[in-house]
Structure 1
Amino acid sequence: MKTLVIGATGNTGSILIPALIKSGQKVRAFVHHEQKAQALKEAGAEIYVGDLDRPETIDGALKDIDQVYFCLWNGPTAATQGINVINAIKRVGTNSFVVRHSAFGSKGSRIIQQIDEVDNALKASGLHWTSIRPTFFMQNLLMAASTVQQDGSIYWDWADGKVGMIDVRDVAESALGALTGKAEEGKEYVLTGPAPVSMKDVATTFSKKLGKKVNYVPVSHEASKQAMMGMGFPEFIVDGYIELNEGFSNGVANTSTKNVQLLTGHPARSVEDFASDFKDYFISHN
C-alpha cells in the first residue's frame, strides 16, 4: 500500500508516518516547506512539496496512491483546502480510500464549522472514506506547564465542564488502525479518553503525579483569549478555541467511546498516563 499523508508535519502526522512505514506501507508526505520534513525523510517517507491553497499542486501528489489521510490546520482557509483535496482526488480519478482527520466539538466554533464543511463535502463526493473525530488533545495541557511550574496552578476557561480528552498518541495510533484495515467505510469514529474529566480532575491527577499541590483556577473566556494572543496564536484560531471552550464548559464533549480500543487494540490512555509520561514538562528544573 502507498499512503499520501496530508498534514504530515503536524502533531498526528509526525507520529503516524513512522508507524505506517514500520507497518510496511510506503508513505508520501505532503508538506508546504521541505525543510520541516527532514525527520520524516530520514524515517523513510517520500517528500512531496505542495500548497493546499493551490489546487494544481495537489494532483501530482496523488499519483500511484492507494490511500489518503488528511488533517488540516485550524485557520480560516481550512474548508477551502479540504475541498481542494477532495476535488483533486475526484479529478485524478484515483480509487483511493480516504481517512479524514476530523474533530468532535462545539458546533458554535468556527473551527468545527469549517471541519464540518469539509466532512459534508467528503460524504457527498462519492469517494470511499472513513473519519476519525478526536476531542480535546491532552497535549494542549502543555500550555499550562509554565504556570504549574511557577505557582502550581492550571488557569483554564472550562468552568466545571468535563471533556473526554484524548492523548494525541492514541489519535495517531487510531489513524494507523484506520489505514490498516480496522475501520469501516462510511463510518465516523469519535475518539476520546477512557472517561470525561474536568480541569479540577486534571489538577488532582497532576498533584498526585508531580508530588506537589496543583490547583485549577477557572478564568473567563476573555482572559483566556488574551493569554493565547500573548502566545502568538492567530486571532481566528484563538476565537475558534474560545468557542470550543465555551462548548466544553457546557458539556458538549462530556462523553467517552471505545473507538480507540476498536482501532488500536488497546485502551485509550488516561490523564494519569499522560501526566506520568509528560511530568518533566511540568516540573521546574531551576
Structure 2
Amino acid sequence: MLLITGGTGQNGRATLSEFIREKRNVRVLVRSLEKASGLGLDKFPQVELVQGDMGKPGTLQAALAGIERVLMISSPTPDMLDTQCRFIDACKSNNVRHVIKFSGAESGIGFDPSRFRFTQMHEDIEDYLEGSGLAWTHVRPSQFMQVYLREAGDVAKEGVLRLPFGEIELSPIDVSDIAKVTYRLLREGGHEGVSLDMTGPEALTMSDIAERIAAATGAPVRYEPITARERRERLLASGMPPSLVDALDEQLAERLARPKSRVDLSAHAMFGIWPTTFAEFAKRHAAAFRPGV
C-alpha cells in the first residue's frame, strides 16, 4: 500500500490527481476527515482517506499500517523540521520501507540554503531521513510556476506584475511536472538513495514572465519592480503570518544576491516527462490573468 501525506495541499493534490487519473489505489493522510470530505474525494473508490497528524505519532497507526512507500509532504511552517522528523520516526516504528521526501532547492546559482530557513530545514530533514535506516529519495523542486497565480489579480486589473525581484533570473517549474515524478516514484519505487533536483526548462527574468503572460492573454502586461518593504507590507496586510513573511524576506535577500539561475531537467529526462514551459503554463491559466476576470 502507498501513502501520501499533505494530500489536501497543492503538491499532494497534484500527485493524488495522477493516482485518480490512472485509477490506482492510494491512501491519503488528512488532519480532518470532515474538511477533506469537501474535496469530493469520496467519488473515487481507489482513494482511502485516513485521519492523523504527522507530528503526533500516536495518531498514525491506521495511516501507516501496511504501507510500503510514503510521499512525505507537510506545510512550510515553523515546526516543519520537528513534524517531519517525528513522522520519519513513526514510519520506522511502523515498518515503512521507503520514504520519498518532497523537499526543495533554489535554482539560484550559489544560493546558500543556510540563509533561508525553509531550505535549511529541508536539508536538515534530508540528513535525518538519510540517517534513519529507511530507504529514501529526495525530490527537490525549485520555485513553482503556480506562485505567479497569486499575482493574477493585479495582472488582470492593471496589466502589471509587481514583485521585488529586479531583473534576476528564476527557473520556475510546473507543479504538474513534479507530480508526474512523485507519482512514478511512489508507484514504482526504485531510485533509492538519490536526490532529484528539478527546475523548469528556462531561466527567466520577471520581464520574460510578464511577456509570456501577455502573449497568453493577448493583453499588455509589464513588470513593475517593487521594494522588499513594499512586498512585506502587502503580505502582512493579506494576513500572512509574520514568521512566514520573515522567511520570505530571507529568501528574497539571497535570491537578489544570486541573480543567475540554473536549469536542471535531469529528472524530467529520467522519467520521460516533457518539461512544461512558462508560456504553456500561462496559456493554460490565461483566464486567470486576462483583463475583466
TM-score, structure 1 as length reference: 0.93
Partner of 1:56 in structure 2?
Answer: 58
- Give yes or no for contact 1:260–1:267 (8 Å, CA) kept in 2: no
CA displacement, residues 227-281 of structure 1 (integer Å, 9 cap, x when unaligned): 1122222111222222222233233771111234235422210110111000100
* 2:266 is the alignment partner of 1:259: yes
Instruction: Describe the shift of the 1:86–1:182 C-alpha distance in structure 2 as closer, same or farther (beyond 3 A).
Output: closer
CA distance in 1, matches of 2:188, 2:258: 33
- Secondary structure at the aligned position of 1:89 is classed as helix
- Give yes or no for contact 1:190–1:257 (8 Å, CA) kept in 2: yes
Partner of 1:4 in structure 2?
Answer: 3
Match of 2:93 among 91, 94, 97: 91
- Secondary structure at the aligned position of 1:155 is classed as strand
CA distance in 1, matches of 2:260, 2:185: 22
- Give yes or no for contact 2:151–2:161 (8 Å, CA) kept in 1: yes
Q: What percentage of residue pairs aligned between the two structures are identical?
A: 25
Amino acid at match of 1:53: G
Partner of 1:65 in structure 2?
Answer: 67
Match of 1:140 among 147, 150, 166: 147
The 4+ residue runs of structure 1 with deviation greater than 4 A are none
Instruction: Describe the shift of the 1:18–1:50 C-alpha distance in structure 2 as closer, same or farther (beyond 3 A).
Output: same
- Give yes or no for contact 1:260–1:268 (8 Å, CA) kept in 2: no
CA displacement, residues 107-130 of structure 1 (integer Å, 9 cap, x when unaligned): 111121222221110111111011
* 2:122 is the alignment partner of 1:111: no
- Give yes or no for contact 2:98–2:136 (8 Å, CA) kept in 1: yes
Match of 2:166 among 159, 176, 184: 159
Instruction: Describe the shift of the 1:250–1:268 C-alpha distance in structure 2 as closer, same or farther (beyond 3 A).
Output: farther
Partner of 1:77 in structure 2?
Answer: 79
Give the number of aligned pairs. Answer: 284
Partner of 1:168 in structure 2?
Answer: 175
Match of 1:276 among 272, 280, 283: 283
| Pairs within 5 Å for 1:168-187 | 168-181=175-188, 184-187=191-194
- Secondary structure at the aligned position of 2:220 is classed as coil
Match of 1:193 among 188, 192, 200: 200
TM-score, structure 2 as length reference: 0.91
- Secondary structure at the aligned position of 1:238 is classed as helix
CA distance in 2, matches of 1:172, 1:263: 14
Partner of 1:14 in structure 2?
Answer: 13
Q: Give unmatched runs, 5+ long, in structure 1.
A: none
